[in-house]
Each structure stands twice: as structure tokens, then as C-alpha cells.
Amino acid sequence: MNLNTHLAIDPQLVGRAVLPEEGKSVVTLETLPVMAADESGLVHGGFVFGAADYAAMTAVNHPNVVLGAAEVKFLKPVRVGETIVARAEVVSEQGKKRLVEVQAFRGEQTVFSGTFTCFVLDKHVLS
């Protein structure tokens, strides 16, 4: 399946997407030293959120998809050098609205979970 959205995004910031089937996405993010929030190597949560958001967007996989809302939980800390895998699945479609469930893992441990409310617009949000 081809990627149809967020084509200019930097994979170092949000990860690399694989679309195993329609309505699903898997994003792998290698955490880097520039993502550290402190000297201990704690990865800032915004990078984990970014990978999860990217997974949600690519699960919808429409050129004009945008994020409307997110209800999320950060469950475990992430350290620089760890790999995060975010798995997303579209669980509901109502008109232009899509609900996407996302979980992010470090190995077998769940580090993040959330529900993303996405919207598929008729034209680009900046048009």
C-alpha cells in the first residue's frame, strides 16, 4: 500500500511508516540524543506523541487528513537510544471523521496509548 499523506515529513523526527493494510499503520522511531529532555536521556514526550500522531495520520492515509483532537496517556518513560513502535488502527468512520486507536511500544512494554480524532478534509487545511 502506498503512502498518500505527510510525504514531506522528516522520519528522524517522527519515525518511518509501514502500511500493512488499509486502515492500519506501524511507525518505527529510533530515539536520538537531540530528543533528550535532560542529562539522564529522558526523551521528551512530544517525540513519542509525534510518532503516534504520524501513525494515526498514515493509518487514515488521505492527503488532506488533519488531527482534530487526541486523548492520550504516557505510560512509561522512553530513553535516548530506544526504539519506539507505534501501531495505529482506524476503528471508526463517520463522514469526514475518523477515530484512530494508537499504542506505542518499547519492546513488549506499552509506553503510550491514545485515541486520535482525525478529519479528512475536501481540500488542504491551508488552502
- Mean pLDDT, the chain, integer: 97
Strands 109-120 and 97-106 turn out to be antiparallel
103 assigned to some structural domain: yes
Strands 65-74 and 24-30 turn out to be unpaired
pLDDT of residue 63: 97
102 assigned to some structural domain: yes
55 assigned to some structural domain: yes
CA distance 11 to 49: 14
Range of the domain at 67: 11-120
| pLDDT tens figures, 37-59 | 999 999 999 999 999 999 999 99
CB-CB neighbours of 33 under 10 Å: 9
What is the pTM for the complete model shown? 0.97
What CATH number corresponds to the domain at position 18? Answer: 3.10.129.10
Q: How many domains does the chain have?
A: 1
| pLDDT tens figures, 64-111 | 999 999 999 999 999 999 999 999 999 999 999 999 999 999 999 999
DSSP category for residue 34: G
Q: Summarize the confidence of residues 19-46 as an average pLDDT.
A: 97
4 assigned to some structural domain: no
